[in-house]
Amino acid sequence: MMDVYVLDACALIAAIEGEPGYSVVHSLFAQSAKGEISLKINKVNLLEVYYDAIRRHGTAEADRMLANMARSPVGVTAVFSNQALREAGRLKTSFKISIADSIALAEAAVHDGCLVTSDHHEFDAIEKNGQIKFFWIR
Q: Which domain holds residue 47?
A: 3-136
CA distance 99 to 2: 27
CATH number at residue 66: 3.40.50.1010
pLDDT at 132: 95
**pLDDT tens column, 20-74:** 999 999 999 999 999 999 999 999 999 999 999 999 999 999 999 999 999 999 9
**pLDDT tens column, 93-134:** 999 899 999 999 999 999 999 999 999 999 999 999 898 999
Query: pTM to 2 decimals?
Result: 0.96
How many domains does one find in the chain?
1
pLDDT at 1: 77
Contacts 24+ apart (CB under 8 A), 46-51: 46/9, 46/12, 46/76, 47/100, 48/9, 48/100, 49/9, 49/12, 49/13, 49/16
